[in-house]
Amino acid sequence: MSDQKLQALRVRIDDLDEKILDLISQRARCAQEVGHIKMAELAEGEQAVFYRPEREAQVLKRIMELNKGPLDNEEMARLFREIMSSCLALEQPLKVAYLGPEGTFSHAAALKHFGQAVISKPMAAIDEIFREVVAGAVSFGIVPVENSTEGAINHTLDSFLEHDLVICGEVELRIHHHLLVGENTKTEKISRIYSHAQSLAQCRKWLDAHYPNVERVAVSSNAEAAKRVKSEWSSAAIASDMAAQLYELTILAEKIEDRPDNSTRFLTIGNQSVPATGDDKTSVIISMSNRPGALHALLAPFHDSGIDLTRIETRPSRSGKWTYVFFIDFYGHKDDPLVKSALEKIAQESVALKILGSYPNAVL
């Protein structure tokens, strides 16, 4: 009796698979038609915009609202993101720069945000990502901006001071660190552990407890650490699942980060402004004169307008010694009336105000 039920369910699954296949194909053909229409409407010398961050965010949020299970909302949204990524590639494949080499958390964030169908381009430094986007060599870049354990990524903040680019989106990535070894590693004789400086800091307590006398060597990325240990016999690396798979390493210890909620926030940078979705964030850089009450004058318009600030960072200004600029993130879009009014008041009190961009709040 159970065999008959199983067979009936398998027949039903096959039938559903055919319907899903047909619907995905229909969606892909619609995406192609969208591409044709956009190309036909282009003015001479104008470039078509195929990827719309606000549209993608709206679609994914709608899918999560409509989802009735049993798959959870995030899993369903990830499935649809991959469908959207593949359909977009039929219009025009996106080129995205990230902090390489392959297997870094930045690489994982790029694929999480844009899907597997993008053409991902590894770069050696954060500033190179900015330069690739400025030059038009890639459509977007993805850069780390803050970690929940170690705080702001200063290289990224400084790059925003030097380049005029627009923040188009954000993605949050849960960071799980693993201790990896190669096939030739003699685990009882590990004398050196490679990783990025941030990752070594995020695993400090675990390392103190398990490898207190082992040398900790900071390298340019976790993926670089994984590449190094592949051919060494007395070293290990702290890196991700993705790096372990790419470089065929064995996980000696899992999830060794000191804080289980360890996460890194990434920003996508490009050249296009993003319309409001109704659930947005805005990032700005503000330079204030060094005078009594300057910080109050900066924050008061946000308070008076009821705007929720999510992050404030300071960095040394390039304009003078012991002067600083403020990096501020807050909920709302730059075109919202309340936000617009607050920014106008701040502009009157500040030396300089630079809007880095308004973008959809992270869906995944």
Which of 49, 73, 250 is closest to 81 using CA atoms?
Answer: 73
The answer to whether residue 266 is catalytic is yes
> Distance between CA atoms of 347 and 123, rounded to whole angstroms?
35
Q: Which of 80, 140, 160, 266 is catalytic?
A: 266
Place of tokens 């403020």: 326
Do 283 and 334 contact (CB within 8 A), yes or no? no
Classify each residue of 42-58 as buried b or exposed e, where b means 16 or more C-beta atoms within 10 Å of its C-beta: eeeeeeeebbebbebbb
Place of tokens 């289980």: 260
> Distance between CA atoms of 236 and 226, rounded to whole angstroms?
8
> Distance between CA atoms of 329 and 313, rounded to whole angstroms?
9
The answer to whether residue 264 is catalytic is yes
> Distance between CA atoms of 87 and 313, rounded to whole angstroms?
38
> Distance between CA atoms of 193 and 77, rounded to whole angstroms?
37
> Distance between CA atoms of 361 and 202, rounded to whole angstroms?
26
> Distance between CA atoms of 133 and 253, rounded to whole angstroms?
38
Please work out, in degrees rounded to the nearest 5, the angle formed at the alpha carbon of residue 300 by the alpha carbons of 297 and 302.
125
Place of tokens 């990025």: 196
Q: How far is CA 94 from CA 84, 116, 127, 242, in A?
A: 12, 10, 20, 22
Residue 180: enclosing H or E segment and its boundaries?
Answer: strand 178-181
293: left (phi > 0), else alpha (psi -120 to 50), else beta? left
Residue 189: enclosing H or E segment and its boundaries?
Answer: none
Q: Which of 104, 149, 264, 282 is catalytic?
A: 264
N- to C-terminal Cα separation, the chain: 43
Q: So which residues are the catalytic ones?
A: 264, 266
